[in-house]
A and B are shown apart, each in its own frame.
Chain A
Amino acid sequence: MTLAKVVSELAIVEIKGDLNSELNHYALMECGAIFYVFNPNKESIAKLQQYTREYDKNCVQRTIFICQNYPLNMVSENHFVKDIGIAKRSFIYLPYNEAVVKACYEGNVDSLIPSIIKGEPETITLRQKLLEMMQALFDTDRYKYIRGFAEWPRL
């Protein structure tokens, strides 16, 4: 089976190791979108800027930059994207969330999903941003494919 034969509506391909390796570059070229995950620190941002400058432009153009552990109350989104030199439309952040850290520690990340769907206080900050990610992948100006909160299952 090759990547082209995967028929699921959403196939998330986690790229491990060197981005320039033959297998990883092949996978990147096969994907319709790329999520570049980084942290809000100098080293990570420097590497992101190196990626936008030097990596294959075909890939960079399809990239959405995801900032993990974003300091929500410390820096404005506009200032942040301007500072690191990426377009705001290709930027989504995920704020620091203690429930995620706890779930990773306990090895039950899947248990967060019902909590996110219900909109419980400890995970509500993730809800909107994960929806934005799905919308960034599927929705266009004219066609909305992703169901909003109102249509999510009642748990």
Chain B
Amino acid sequence: MKVAVITNQEGQTGKSVLSLLLGLLFSATQDKESVILSTGDASSMYAQCNIGMAQGALNNTNIYNALMKNAALKGKRSYVMLIESALTIRMHLTSLMPDWKKGSYVNCSR
């Protein structure tokens, strides 16, 4: 099931927190994989979730960004940079987050 989370009041409604809670809880209680994607800058999500500290049942929640890669195929540079950062975080968890926040991107391919 793919579910889109939207709002008409960006930055005020708690959309990212809801996405995180729902994805993590689904993964932990249903023993199934959940994925959280974003069509924009996912930094608020990464900042709110201490990915490196996730444990046990939460480990099968992967956070990566397929939509951004799709946008990258269309040649949108800003999305390409975001894909790289999302994948970096996915592969190296929180260790590279400070560099990523400063805007230093590490190329990596899946």
Task: State which size class the interface on A falls in.
Answer: 35 or more
Q: Which residues of B contact A35 (CB under 8 A)?
A: 3-6, 18
The answer to whether A23 and B50 touch across the interface, beta carbons within 8 angstroms, is: no
- A11-B37, A12-B34, A14-B42 as given contacts; A34 in contact with B4, CB under 8 Å: yes
Q: Which residues of B contact A43 (CB under 8 A)?
A: 9
* Bound complex: CA A35 to CA B47 (Å): 22
The answer to whether B9 and A47 touch across the interface, beta carbons within 8 angstroms, is: yes
Total interface residues on B, CB under 8 Å, equals 56
The answer to whether A32 and B66 touch across the interface, beta carbons within 8 angstroms, is: no
The answer to whether A37 and B54 touch across the interface, beta carbons within 8 angstroms, is: no
Count of inter-chain pairs, beta carbons less than 8 A: 208
- A2-B66, A14-B42, A39-B12 as given contacts; A8 in contact with B6, CB under 8 Å: no
Task: Kindly state whether residue B81 has any CB partner on chain A within 8 Å.
Answer: no
The answer to whether A113 and B58 touch across the interface, beta carbons within 8 angstroms, is: yes
B residues near A (Cβ < 8 Å) are 1-10, 12-30, 32-42, 45, 47-51, 53-54, 57-58, 62, 66-67, 69-71
Instruction: Return 29 A-B CB contacts under 8 Å, by A number.
Output: A2-B66, A5-B66, A8-B34, A9-B32, A10-B35, A11-B2, A11-B35, A11-B36, A14-B19, A16-B40, A19-B8, A27-B67, A31-B2, A32-B3, A34-B5, A38-B8, A39-B13, A43-B9, A44-B9, A66-B18, A68-B13, A103-B48, A109-B21, A110-B51, A112-B21, A113-B58, A126-B21, A133-B22, A146-B30
